[in-house]
Amino acid sequence: MEKSFLILAILLGLVSVTVATAGTATYYTTYTPSACYGYTDEGTMIAAASDTLWNNGAACGNMYTVTCTGGTNAGIPQPCTGNTVTVKIVDYCPPSGCQATIDLSQEAFSAIANTDAGKINIEYNP
């Protein structure tokens, strides 16, 4: 009995479980100036954080892996490409204009979904 328990404990220790958080994503096209880096070009695999992630600016520089899980409208019911993208938080998406958990650059959004969808369901991990 003890030997079986030990083997099970070792096997469970070898398994890494990452739990993704569900949310939504939209996209934007003007990348500078950004709330985190001003006029510094941070590339195109970037995103703006909503209040959910922003944490008074502590989100700046954080990396998130984002996967499309489905559409949010009937117009494009299957927008996902099947790809995953990793983005860097460079900006803030304020409640007055933010319609999603994370606002991806157009390039990041198009890597995981059809931009015609406009807004998608996602899973993301830090």
Residues 51-86 pLDDT 10s: 999 999 999 999 999 999 999 987 888 999 999 999
- pLDDT single digits (tens) 50-59: 999 999 999 9
The architecture (CATH level 2) of 19-125 comes to: Beta Barrel (2.40)
Structure tokens at 64: 């998130």
Q: What is the model's pLDDT at position 93? A: 95
Distance CA 6, CA 4 (A): 5
Return the domain boundaries, the chain: 19-125
At 3, is the pLDDT very low, low, confident or very high (cuts 50, 70, 90)? low
Mean pLDDT of the chain: 89
Distance CA 123, CA 64 (A): 10
Are 44 and 107 spatial neighbours (Cβ–Cβ below 8 Å)?
A: yes
- pLDDT single digits (tens) 81-126: 999 999 999 999 998 889 999 999 999 999 999 999 999 999 999 9
- pTM to 2 decimals? 0.84
